[in-house]
Structure formats: structure tokens, C-alpha cells
Homo-oligomer: A and B are copies of this chain.
Amino acid sequence: MSEPGSRRLSAGMVGGGEGADIGKTHRLAMRLDDRYALVAGVFGRDADSARRLAGDLGVDRVYRDHREMADAESARPDGVDVVTIATPNDSHFELARTFLRAGISVVCEKPLTRDSQTSAELIATAESTGAILAVPHCYSAYAMVRHAARLVRDGALGDIRTVVVEHSSGWASTPLELGDHRQARWRTDPDVAGFPSVLSDLGTHALHLLRYVTDLEPARVSAELTTLVPGRRVFDNASVRLTLSNGAPATLWASMAATGNEHGLRLRVFGEKAGLDWRHEDPQHLVIRDRDGAATILAHGMSSLSEDATRLTRPGMGHPEGFIEAFANFYADLADLLRARRDGTTAPTRELSIPTGVDGLIGLQFVEAAAASHALDGAWVDAASVRPMAGV
């Protein structure tokens, strides 16, 4: 990857206060390629703690709340180009809407909002002000996932016949929420995370990965939501069948209680000519299996990969890149869009780019359809995908 031009983008953040992992990950990802300077933020309700963090981060403009921030930043000539929202799910809508209305681009953690209607409203708001609304389904930004998506689009697999995706983590296979595990507490609180929590949190990542690589949309879903850890107040496990837009069957398994699993994100696509297999436990490789059963393992950094993958490679062959780098790839691609908006230039046109509000919306529709199917004992429910994933 080339290093950035001289003028960094100005970034803000809401959430990500002390002890909040996801905010820190966003900051690591923004920083890696030096395309962003974090200059403004709202870092939680405790003023002392917020000031301390801001000091550590070198952030000068600390606001009490998002409204004050949106007003002030949109008024400045050097106001932030983008704000990252890294707060629990129930606040996403209000926060994102405020910034988008102020014409400020937004990176909003998934699930985008708590329902598809509000997600659609955010998209409309973004369109009306020209702001960018990006959703960090960052697994799609791994070089080898991009290469997988390229292979599918280039016909290397032929027609897609079935897809099996799983995001079955073991992180919450014990009742962590009874202790002081902050993330476990809100992710198992139905009022904050919603009762289909595992689908909102992990299922939407799995769905996006499936959609991103296959270029197919969910047409209908049938879901069974279950609770594996006794006493838990949300569903922590979900088995979903999908019919994809080309008629192919697919299954999606999401779990936060698959005892012993690491991250458990894996995508397998079976086509007429070949199958592909990608696992987040080994993200720098991609396996292609031909009809005879030979498995070819492609490695990150190989000189023969597609431009979609090689442009996302930093030190090169033999030097593993991980989650932060994938997240940074998301931010790097976003930077191209933000700069074009800022400078009034044209962004590079890429078939394979980053997820946006539409992807967030489709994720919400998926969660809603799955919840509806569950209520109907697994009956098929329309996935109601409004429109195909838009390349940005």
C-alpha cells in the first residue's frame, strides 16, 4: 500500500471511552495508515475520564455530547470530515442522524440502528446531505476476502450452488454478564442489544461476508433462535436458513456460546466449478477446492493475486496481517471517498469497496426477518432486501 498524501482527514469519535475495546480498535485502524487525525470527540459522561483520554490521544476538541459536537464541528471550516460512532446499539440512530443532518460523514458500528425503518431513514438523511454513511463490516476488508469476492465475480466458481457461513464464537459460553464484563452485560441486555442479540452482533457480520463474497442477496429466511447459557436474557445462538437471490440455499450459524471456539467466523461457498473456504482464524489464506478434490491454498502477498487483494497488502508475502490491518483497509478505502468529498474530486471507482448504510439496512432487515421467522416457529419470511449492495 502506498503511504498517504500530506493532508490527513480530520476525524471525530463518540464513545470509545476508557475500557471500551471497539473504540480503541477504530483508533488503531485509523492511525495505521496515517490518513486520519483524531481531533474531536465525546468520550463518555465522566468529564474527568473523558479529559484524561482526550489528553492521552492528543484530542483538543472534547465535547459534552454529540449535539454540541455536531453543531460546533459543522460550523468550523476545519470541522471533522467523519465521526465514528462506537457506542452501544441503542444510541446509534440518534447519534448518526445528528451528524448526518449536520452534513458530517459517519462510521457507525453495526447493527446500524435498532430497526430497518430507522436505518432507512439514516440512509435517506445521508443522501440528502451528501454525507457518507459507512458500516464497518470489516471482515470484508481482508485482502483474501477481497480476492475471494474477485474470484466469484470472475466466474472461477461458476454458479453458486450453496453457501455455509458461520460466526460461532465461544466468548460468552459462560454467564459472563453476571460478573463485571462490560460488553457481556450490554450485549445480553435485551433493552440495549435487542433479544436477537447474537444475530445483530455476529449474524450481521456473517451475512455481510456471505453477500460480499457471493454478490448474492438473501431472498427469504427461516430461523431458530435459542439460548444456550441457562438464564441468559437474550438469544445467544441462531440457526438460519436462507434462500439466496439466485435460488441457492444457504445456512448461517451465529453463536456467542460455542464453547471453546475462538472467533469462529468461516465462509464456505460451493459453486458449479469449485468451492472456496475462508476462516478468520487464518485470514491470510484462502482455500480453493476443485471438483476433483484438490485444495489450493492461496496466501496473502502472493504476486499472482488480484489487484483487489494486492492493493491491501502492506509488508508482503510471509508477513501476516490481522484484524487491525483489515479494519485499516476499511478506513483506507473510506479515506478515498472522504477526500473526494472534501476536495470535490472524483473517488476511485471500485467494484469491491466498503460497506455502507445499505449494508447496515440489509443486516437489520435480516435480523427482523429472522426474528419474525422465529416467532412463526421457523416459517419462511421474506428477507425484504430493498436493493442490492451498492458499490460506493
Contacts and interface: CB of A to CB of B under 8 A. Distances in A.
A251 to B, nearest CB: 5
Contacts of A24: 3, 314-315
Contacts of A290: 260
B270 A314 contact: no
Interface in A2-41: 3-6, 8, 21, 24-25, 27-28, 31-34
A262 B293 contact: yes
Contact of A320 (B53, B273, B280, B298): B280
Contacts of A241: 224, 239, 378
Nearest to A225: B249
A382 to B, nearest CB: 14
Interface residues of A, number: 93
A296 interface: yes
Contacts of A321: 322-324
A117 B299 CA distance: 41
Given A56-B6, A294-B297, A226 B251 contact: no
Given A255-B162, A289-B259, A377-B380, A324 B318 contact: no
Contacts of A316: 21
Contacts of A288: 260
A101 interface: no
B162 A228 contact: yes
Contacts of A379: 377-379
30 contacts: A8-B58, A25-B315, A161-B257, A161-B259, A162-B255, A170-B293, A171-B317, A173-B270, A173-B291, A224-B241, A228-B248, A228-B270, A259-B274, A259-B291, A260-B274, A260-B290, A260-B295, A261-B270, A262-B293, A262-B301, A262-B318, A263-B317, A292-B303, A295-B296, A295-B297, A297-B297, A322-B325, A324-B324, A324-B325, A379-B379
